[in-house]
Each structure stands twice: as structure tokens, then as C-alpha cells.
Amino acid sequence: MNIVSKEDNRDPYDSFLMVPGPTVVDPRVRNVMSNNQMGHLSEEFTDDFNKLLVLSKQLFGTDTGSPFIITGSGTIAMEATVLSLLEQNNKGLILDTGYFAQRFGQMLDCYSIDSNTLSFNFGSHADPDVLKTELKKNKYDAVFITHVDTSSTVMNNIYELVKVVKDNNSLAIVDSVCGVGGCELNFDKLGADVVLTTSQKAIGSVPGAGLMMLSQNAIELLENRKSIIPSYYLNLKKWKAHMDNPKTYVATPAIQVMVALKTALEMIMEEGLENRWNRHKNVANAIHAGIESLGLDFVAEENYRAYTVTGFHVPSGTSIQTQSELKSRFNVEVANGFGEMKNNALRVGHMANIGPNEVGCFLTGLETILSEYDDTIKKGTVINAISQILK
């Protein structure tokens, strides 16, 4: 059964891209990328960039934060933060809830900055009480928190974690690459020093921009640090001058990427942040209900399953085949389980423009494929499960 008509010459954008980022990009966002090339210091582009900075403050929910948007991806935002805010004599603590948290640890190692890791079982959330105990015992200059770890598909309670960090006077650095735009986050209420994200996930734009929001505390630290920042491109001190006045030159930004991002943020504001968060929660609830109705287990523990990505187990050894059939028969592209779960789990992204059509197609496709392995799975199960949820 093909739910989506498939023609050999179809536009690849017709497929339902449900990997956990990049995600489906709205034509309005894609189209602005084909406008005439602008100069990087032109009135037109610097005006657009200034508007983008204002929109990014609205996106993060801040009046007091300082936005930085640089060409690159989420990793560049992570690395620019590490290099610009930490010095060699500092010590960081990583809350390890998956692969992307560990990436911060690798970065600290690269720059010979001391660190310690608090590890939580894969699929479990970072427990604020465990963090509290550690911070009472040892002093850290910065604590690295992942909002949604795309590998374990866990959504941490960043409000509780950041509060513990700030009560203990450390810097709170939050990777919300898979959160901002899809999961509730208000920078001023959160009180973190840095929240960072990227353009191609829940924001729904094309890859190519790393976004960081810095608190006034982080800006003071940046301005008063003693050692030089050992990087040209990842030096937020240099970029600060550009964010204050986009007519100053540091390096040529990916102009089309920035214009696309501005358009995506305009669309988010038209939708309304609260509406968007609720929409993501609703879509996630439907995905979770559908997966549960098929009797499959989740990778992330209950109450900490993300609103933007879901990991779930399939019968051992069937994941690669299921992933490939979802693509070839149903035109739905999902990601495999992370690391050791490659052969027995899948991850489905449901962020930005993913809505009822994509959810329905993914779940019914999954049901059809799995029912061919397992005759206890009955056709029609998922539709029953999600029909009361998706509106």
C-alpha cells in the first residue's frame, strides 16, 4: 500500500523528512534563498540581519539576552561558547544524557580544559538531585546541560537543572539544538548564561546558522576574561562587534541562510510561540500514543520523552529493513537508533513543519511493515490510538 503517490521523478522535498533534523522546510523559507544575491555589508542585508537579531530575542523569550548568529551549525555554536567563555584553568561538568552532551566533553578535551562527567543511563533524564549533590562536593566553573538529547531522545527539565547550577554560582550552558522553537523555553525565566541552537531543527529553516543567546553575566565574563580566545572564527568577542553593528566585518556570513532563517522566525512569530509549543506537544503525544499502541518500547523514560524526536525499539535486527521500507514504500525518512541501538531502534523527528499528514503516514507505514513481521499487530491500531489526539 502506498499512501503517498510515488513517481520516479518526484521532487525530493515531497518525501516526508522525519529524521531528527534537518527537517521539512516550508517553500516560503526555501524561496527567499533564490532572490538576488545581496552584498554582505549592503543596507538591505544588514537591515535583514538586524531584524533577524530582534526576532531571535523573541524566539528565545528574552529582553536582556545578547544574541549571536554565526554561519555554521549547532556544533559551531557549542564550540564558540566553550572557547569564548571558558579559560584553561576552568573546570566544566558535563551532564551526560547522550551523545550530544558528550560532544561538549570532547570539546573541552580538545582545548585542554579540565572536566568531569555525571553520567545518567541512556534514556534517563539528568536528575537535579544528583547534580545538587555533585555541586555541593566539587566546584565547577560551568555546567553543560542538553535540553533534548537527540541521541537518547530524552528531554531534560532545564528549569530545575539551571536553578541548581545558578544556586551554586556556576555558568549554566544549555544546548537546546533540538528544543528551541519546539519545546517551551523562555531565556529570561530560565536564567541560564547561554542557550544555543541551530537553524535546521525545530526552527524549520535550512542548515547553516548557529544561534547563541548570552546573559549579561556571560557578556561580562566574555569582556573581562584574562586570556585571549584561542580562535579567530569562534571568537565571540569579535562577533559581538558584528552583532552590535552588522556593518562591521568579521567574515562573510551565508547570506541566503540568514535570510531563510529570518523568514522561518517570522513564520514562527505569525504562528505564536505558545501555539507552536502546544502543536509540538500534540504531535508528540500522537506519535507516542501510536508507538505505544503497536506495543513498542521507548528509548527515553516516561515523562522525559521529547516533543521533537522519539526513539523506539523495533524487533531486534529489523530496524535497518524497517527504516529502508519506510522510505521506499511510504516515502518517510527516519533515522536509525543511536550507537548500540542501531539494529533494534529507530528515531523519528517531529519538529517544525511535521504535522498530522506526516504523523499519519509514518505510523500507518510502520504498522504495515511491522504487521508483516508480527501477526499480533493489527491494521487500524494506530489510527484508533491517534484519532482522539491529533486535531
Closest distance between ligand PMP and the C-beta of residue 86, in Å? 17
Nearer to ligand PMP, 48 or 175 (CB): 175
Four-residue CA torsion sign, 216, 183, 208, 152: positive
User: How many Å apart are CA 220 and CA 318, to the nearest integer?
Assistant: 52
Closest distance between ligand PMP and the C-beta of residue 144, in Å? 11
At residue 129, the 3 state secondary structure works out as: helix
Long-range contacts of 332-335 (CB under 8 A, 24+ apart): 332/15, 332/16, 332/18, 332/358, 332/361, 332/362, 332/365, 333/15, 333/16, 333/17, 333/18, 333/19, 334/18, 334/19, 334/362, 335/19, 335/20
Nearer to ligand PMP, 312 or 330 (CB): 312
Nearer to ligand PMP, 122 or 330 (CB): 122
Residue 256, CA distances (Å) to 35, 208, 277, 360 in order: 8, 9, 27, 33
Contact 52, 246 (CB under 8 A): no
- The neighbour count for residue 327, using CB atoms within 10 Å, is 15
Residue 333 φ/ψ, nearest 5 degrees: -105, 115
Listed residue (235, 242, 97) closest to 175, CA to CA? 97
Nearer to ligand PMP, 233 or 383 (CB): 233
Closest distance between ligand PMP and the C-beta of residue 100, in Å? 4
Q: Which residues bind ligand PMP (CB under 6 A)?
A: 21, 73-75, 100, 146, 149-150, 175, 177-178, 198
C-alpha cell at 242: 558584528
**Angle (deg, nearest 10), helices 273-293 and 356-373:** 10
Query: In this chain, which residue has its C-beta nearest to ligand PMP?
Result: 74
Nearer to ligand PMP, 178 or 385 (CB): 178
Nearer to ligand PMP, 19 or 320 (CB): 19
Nearer to ligand PMP, 178 or 203 (CB): 178
Closest distance between ligand PMP and the C-beta of residue 21, in Å? 6
Listed residue (98, 256, 263, 278) closest to 184, CA to CA? 278
Contact 114, 83 (CB under 8 A): no
Closest distance between ligand PMP and the C-beta of residue 78, in Å? 6
Closest distance between ligand PMP and the C-beta of residue 309, in Å? 8
Nearer to ligand PMP, 239 or 330 (CB): 239
Straight-line distance from the first to the last Cα atom of the chain, in angstroms, rounded to the nearest whole number: 25
